[in-house]
Chain A
Amino acid sequence: MDDTTIAAHVDAAAALLGLPLAPEHRPGVLMYFALAAAMAEQVNGLTLTVHDESGSHFVPVSPGGAA
């Protein structure tokens, strides 16, 4: 993902979320988004099947089990 694409995504996604990016914060945000994009390349580079499950796991709550 190139710098222009990253900047376009960051600005559009921030606007969509209503997340203001102060001018002094934006360079750091772009740098860290680029780092995350490099991490995403790593995870997306692993071929998985549709049967490879998520590491997130939901446990239904039984009556009386809510804290």
Chain B
Amino acid sequence: MSAATLLNGPAHAMAAALRRRELSASALVEASLARIDATDGRVNAFTHRSADRALARAAALDALLAAGDAATQALPLLGVPFAVKNLFDIEGIATLAGSKIERDAAPAVRDGLLVRRMEEAGAVLVGALNMDEYAYGFTTENSHEGPTRNPHDLSRISGGSSGGSAAAVAAGQVPLTLGSDTNGSIRVPSSLCGVFGLKPTFGRLPRSGSYPFVASLDHLGPFGRDACDLALAYDALQGFDAGDPGCVARPHEAAASTLDDAARMTRKLRIGILGGWFHDLALPEARSAVAAVAAALGATQRVEWPEVARGRAAAFLITNAEGAALHLPDLKTRAQDFEPLSRDRFLAGALLPAPWVQQAQRVRHWFARQAARSFEDFDLLLAPATPCVAPAIGTEWLDLNGQRLPARPSLGLLAQPVSCIGLPVCTVPVWNGSLPVGVQLVAAPWREDRVLAAAQVLQAAGVARSPVAALA
């Protein structure tokens, strides 16, 4: 099989082919770089390409393989090209976090921790990816870099804020990427670009060496076209790090090795369908995606969390205030250099009265306790990841079942209440004609194994799938 053909498949098949010495890591990385060259003029997923670094790293892996190095042979992501949202530190380049302002920043002195962990697992970094400025957005219509276009329909948005991370996977440029999710920034672009995305439990993965947005809510996680790839990446990324005060000291809980038993594990799960807010604000295509997943998993019971609107409002206020406070020095001195689509929101956030934000934090905890009760009766809950398929670039308003809402903040309506309380979610892509919409598989804290097992089952059944965009 050629490297270009292999690049369209899952990452675990690439690593297996390298182990069998059917091709070299260099050939695979060259195929990835060629695909980026051929398609990124239209998609605009990449803001930086690390070609020299990637080719040197691949050559080093090839040399180790040629020498019969057993440790290299065993690497789970051996030779797999990957890329990261440009808020991850990459040694030698400035960490942009989607901004113009950070172009003046000093180059990072070392890679972010999760970038290092991916490479320790054998993966090869090929570049950095576009995003909404400072992660404050759901569309990746970045005014400084241009919009990242949806590979399945270039007239539509990729979603955000990790739009480049989802689009690069959907375009077949790389099989794995990393992104961040504060209010939906992994799940929204996964949904709109038709890829799998994992937002682990809040505190599971360390954020050391990444540009923060809202420390109270920021999560990091992987994107891929295959549930097993997501689990392999997640396993490589796990591990406590004291450099992130929000990281919880949990044992390494491997997920990939449990997927062989995914069907049996999933059959035992008590699965519910989130109703209320998650139904009322979803358009028919999102409801039918949930129905397809529910039917495949044998889920019939509806579950309602109380006061979801207040939980979502809490996430909005915490985000607005913390994000603005982080950027206050630049807002004071160079507001004109901020992204016009989010600048005024940042400015307003700097002015919120403290009791609003403190009450939001208390409501967040209250809401988490209410949602936790639902997991006494259920192991897995289903909800749409976005209210609709990808809107056209430039869309200002969404009509959601009679409610006219501003499009940019509203694309995260169904994701925000879940990240607000830190639950693990795997978003799986379900197709409705030519466009995908994602379904959130939500579990109790620290049960990433369950969401990944269910994702694997849905993939095996053909209900969830992530084809490479034709980009003819």
User: What residues of chain A have their CB less than 8 Å away from a CB belonging to chain B?
Assistant: 9-10, 13-14, 17-22, 25, 28-33, 35-36, 38-40, 42-46, 48, 52-56, 59, 61, 65-67
Query: In the complex, which of the residues A17, A20, A31, A39 contacts B351, with contact meaning CB atoms closer than 8 Å?
Result: A17
CB neighbours (8 Å) of A30 from chain B are 348
Q: Which chain A residues lie closer than 8 Å to B350 at the CB level? A: 13-14, 17, 19
User: Is the pair A9, B351 in contact by a Cβ cutoff of 8 Å?
Assistant: yes
Pairs A–B under 8 Å by Cβ, sample size 8: A25-B343, A28-B343, A32-B347, A35-B409, A40-B313, A48-B366, A55-B362, A67-B243
Assess the A54–B366 pair: CB atoms within 8 A: no
Decide: A19 and B348 in contact? CB cutoff 8 A.
no
A55-B362, A66-B242 given; 17 more Cβ-contact pairs under 8 Å: A14-B347, A20-B332, A20-B335, A25-B335, A28-B347, A33-B348, A35-B348, A35-B409, A39-B320, A40-B360, A42-B310, A43-B360, A46-B310, A48-B359, A55-B216, A55-B368, A59-B245
Q: Nearest Cβ distance between residue A57 and chain B, in whole angstroms?
A: 9
Interface residues on chain B, number (Cβ under 8 Å): 43
Among candidates A18, A25, A43, residue contacting B313 with C-beta atoms closer than 8 Å: A43
Known interface pairs A10-B348, A32-B344, A32-B345. Does A67 touch B335 (Cβ–Cβ under 8 Å)? no
Q: Given A19-B328, A20-B332, A25-B335, are A54 and B361 neighbors across the interface (CB < 8 Å)?
A: yes
CA of A42 to CA of B365, assembled, Å: 15
Give the chain A neighbours of B368 by CB distance below 8 A: 55
Closest 5 CB pairs of A and B: A28-B344, A55-B364, A67-B243, A42-B313, A32-B348
Q: B332: which A residues are within 8 A, CB to CB?
A: 17-20
Cα separation A27 to B350 with both chains bound (whole Å): 15
B-chain residues with CB within 8 Å of residue A17 when the two chains form the complex: 328, 332, 350-351
A40:B242 contact, CB within 8 angstroms: no
